[in-house]
Structure 1
Amino acid sequence: MSKFTIESWQESDVMKGKNTQASLRSAVIKKHYVGVLQGTSITHYSLCYLPNGSATFTGIEVFTGQYQACEGSISLLHEGLFEHGEAKGTLSIIEGSGTGQLKTISGTAHFCAGEQKEHELHTHFSL
């Protein structure tokens, strides 16, 4: 398991709901990781907000640092849902995206993030 903190979150409108009830937004998030993963990342999200306040999101996160003391970078595909003040997401390593000692890494992860400052990422990776 790793823990991450969100260092910055910049969100902007892509399309306000004119002909639809949904609003499309994009976000760039910078994170800092400690634990099994140690390093930093940048995630680019596309979010679809509904009038009830929930949102579906997809994105790609690029992590740079260490996994179990092996250095390199990986790209992760995100899919998730935000509702009732909590974001839940699943991540999968994009095959072939690993560099350095993480070149052969594969697997998935999941998180649940609410209002707290630090969030848990449960990894199921293999080298």
Structure 2
Amino acid sequence: MTKFTIESWQESDICKESTNETTIRSATIKKHYIGVLQGNSITHYSLCYLPDGSAIFTGIEVFTGEYNNCNGQFALSHEGKFEKGEAKGSLTVVAGSGIGQLKTISGHAHFCAGEQSEHELHTSFTL
């Protein structure tokens, strides 16, 4: 298992629909990982906030560091939903995005993140 902390979160409006309070935003998130994954990442999200307070998000995360004692970099595609104070997401390694010793990495992961400062990422990766 891997744990991560969010080091920074910067979010801004892309557009806002005034008739139903739906807001489209972009966000850049920096994370730090410890565990099976050790390193740092930057994620770029597109988010659609709905009038009920929930949000749908998609994004790309670029991880740099170690996986199973192999160094390199790879990208993850994100898809998820924020609802009732929790973000739940599914991640997939972007095929062909691996660099260095992580050149052949593949697989998927998922997370559930709430108000706590440290979150769990459950991975199923292969090299």
Q: TM-score range by the shorter chain?
A: over 0.9
Which residue of the partner structure matches residue 115 of structure 1? Answer: 115
- State percent identity of aligned pairs: 72
Q: Is the 8 A contact 2:60 2:77 kept in 1?
A: yes
Deviation, 1:22, is: 1.6
- Secondary structure of 2:27's aligned partner: strand
Which runs of structure 2 are paired with 1:1-127 in the superposition (5 Å)? 1-18=1-18, 20-127=20-127
Q: What RMSD over aligned residues (CA atoms) do the two structures have, in Å?
A: 0.8
Runs of at least 4 residues off by over 2 Å: 18-21
In the comparison of the two structures, how many residue pairs are matched? 127
In structure 2, how many angstroms separate the alpha carbons of the residues matched to 1:20 and 1:94?
35
In structure 2, how many angstroms separate the alpha carbons of the residues matched to 1:97 and 1:20?
38
Q: When the two structures are superposed, what TM-score results if normalisation uses the length of structure 2?
A: 0.98
Please list every run of 5 or more consecutive structure 2 residues that lacks an aligned counterpart in the other structure. none
Q: When the two structures are superposed, what TM-score results if normalisation uses the length of structure 1?
A: 0.98
In structure 1, how many angstroms separate the alpha carbons of the residues matched to 2:65 and 2:19?
43
Paired letter, 1:33: Y
Q: What is the CA deviation profile of residues 65-112 of structure 1, one whole-angstrom value per residue up to 9, with x for unaligned ones?
A: 000110000100000000000000000000000000000000000000
- Secondary structure of 1:116's aligned partner: coil
